[in-house]
Amino acid sequence: MKLHQEILNEKENKTIVFAETKRKVDDLTRKMRRYGWPAICIHGDKTQQERDWVLNEFRSGRAPILVATDVAARGLEALVWAPGCPYAVPRFALGGPP
């Protein structure tokens, strides 16, 4: 509950959650939103317009939790990194062991 409040209260806090499949990304995002977490998702089944909107919502802080597939992680660094926003690509996204 404390983490939930911290994320809601601090606009500069941004979190990226990685899931293995598009279906898991959608399911996790749906469950998080059901419990009040401000989460949105991105994966390959989204249109370019939807992906642009999602990234804009994440960058602006209106949706500070981004759920993505590990494949999407490969392109996220350049799109979402900003000074003060720590970012590390998970090893499995780069072909290393999970």
pLDDT for the residue 70: 74
Query: Residue 44 in contact with residue 93, Cβ under 8 Å?
Result: no
pLDDT of residue 93: 45
| Residues 65, 85: Cα–Cα separation, whole Å | 13
> Which CATH superfamily hosts domain 2-81?
P-loop containing nucleotide triphosphate hydrolases (3.40.50.300)
Average pLDDT by stretches of 10, the chain with 98 residues: 63 81 94 92 92 91 89 62 50 45
For the whole model, what pTM was predicted?
Answer: 0.71
53 CA to centre of own chain: 13
The conformation of residue 83, written as its DSSP 8-state character, comes to T
